[in-house]
Structure 1
């Protein structure tokens, strides 16, 4: 399918404010970026770099007063994420080097606290994809999805204890449990067609059967086009924007995703 996805942020800065933005999705195996608009108002110099996870990042200094950024992409993407029941567990010595950082505990994915729980959830399931699916089922049964109510980022342990969370929190819990089973898992932030209420979305991917597969505890299935913007160990690595210094006021934010006909260009 073809999607048009856009977001708009408007800020007010009391002093010149350094930013790192992460709003440019890359073309990859399951998505092709055919058109992109990126507008800063007022226009300021920006420098782009690629972080250690391959994400496209932009550095700039927002001026005093109102500052907005608008992005729009046309993307060809799958209308249903791949699934692979039975895809096998890959032993750590056989894992590609680039997956190894996603085995370790991180700030919000304290996987070292989930060794026993993850083993209990996965008991009786074939090692690999089926264990990841069992973890997702556990999260859906035990954690209430409460979109719009998670301003503070918390750890997987805290999510598991409080029993409710936003998409980011549920992804953290899934990642922590997978890593506790020595399955590489990473966080993804991006767009999801049909999400309600519409917002940027977070899910996770696990490395089984020699590739990354999508898992999303907030959705009953994997139908709907996804556009991945950024990948990382947890929410720390995939912040859509990071500002430094005096806190800046976010005046408004708008996200839109819609299916469109194949472009003629």
Structure 2
């Protein structure tokens, strides 16, 4: 399916503020970028680079005062995601070099503290894909999705204890439990068609049988029509904005619609979302 997706961000900068943005998807597995538009107001110089995970990032300096970003794209997406019950575990010694670090604990994914829970959840599962799916299903069944129950400091251990959170928290927990079993896992952020409530979304991928598979603990069944924007170890690597100074995000809107208007409902004006659901990094606050 072709999807029209995008977001609008409105900021207020109290002083000139450097920003790193991560809003542009790129063509790859399961998606082809047909068209994209990027508008920044007021106009500023933009430089782009590719980070260590292959994500497209933009560097800007927001001037004092109102500052807004509009991004939209038309993307050809896969209608279904691959599933592979019974796909075998890939031994650590056979992992590619660029996958190996996804077995290690990271800032929000303390896999070294969740081994007992991971073992208990997967005790009846065959090593590999079935373990990752058992983890996804356990989170979906046992963790309540609720806005306002977590923040930028919430970790996988916190979510395992409180059993409540949003997609970011579900994802961190899924990643951590997989890594506790030496299954490489990474965070993915982007858009999901017909997500309810609409927002930027997060899910995880696990590496089994020599490739990555998608797992989304917020959804009851496997769903395609996803647009991946970024990959990383956890939310610290995939924040849609990282700011280095005094700047407030006042509003964010996100939309995803079928590009063929006859195929689905008409495009909404955009849904105001909770920016904490995927997250942004505020380096100014973190350093205080």
Deviating 4+ runs (over 6 angstroms): none
8 A contact 2:19–2:243 mirrored in 1: yes
CA distance in 1, matches of 2:206, 2:69: 32
8 A contact 1:205–1:215 mirrored in 2: yes
CA distance in 2, matches of 1:150, 1:122: 26
Alignment of 1:110-259 (within 5 A): 110-147=110-147, 149-246=149-246, 248-259=247-258
Match of 2:280 in 1: none
SS, match of residue 24 in structure 1: coil
User: CA-to-partner distance for each residue in 1:144-184, whole Å, 9 max, x for gaps?
Assistant: 01145433331100001111000000100000000000000
- Return the offset for 1:251: 1.7
8 A contact 2:149–2:164 mirrored in 1: no
CA distance in 2, matches of 1:195, 1:149: 19
CA distance in 1, matches of 2:6, 2:65: 23
TM-score normalised by L of structure 2:
0.88
- Return the offset for 1:245: 1.9
SS, match of residue 239 in structure 1: coil
User: CA-to-partner distance for each residue in 1:37-87, whole Å, 9 max, x for gaps?
Assistant: 011011100110111101000001001111100001110011121111111
Q: How many residues align?
A: 261
1:22 aligns with 2:22: yes
8 A contact 2:38–2:69 mirrored in 1: yes
- Return the offset for 1:223: 2.0
CA distance in 2, matches of 1:161, 1:37: 42
Alignment of 1:35-114 (within 5 A): 35-114=35-114
CA distance in 2, matches of 1:191, 1:150: 21
SS, match of residue 98 in structure 1: helix
CA distance in 2, matches of 1:229, 1:141: 27
8 A contact 1:147–1:197 mirrored in 2: no
CA distance in 1, matches of 2:147, 2:207: 27
Which has the higher relative contact order, 1 or 2, with Cα contacts under 8 A spaced 6 or more apart?
1
Match of 1:11 in 2: 11
CA distance in 1, matches of 2:68, 2:75: 23
User: CA-to-partner distance for each residue in 1:197-230, whole Å, 9 max, x for gaps?
Assistant: 1110000000011111000110011224100000
* Structure 1, gaps ≥5 residues long: none
* Structure 2, gaps ≥5 residues long: 262-288
CA distance in 2, matches of 1:77, 1:87: 24
RMSD of the TM alignment (CA)?
Answer: 1.2
TM-score normalised by L of structure 1:
0.96
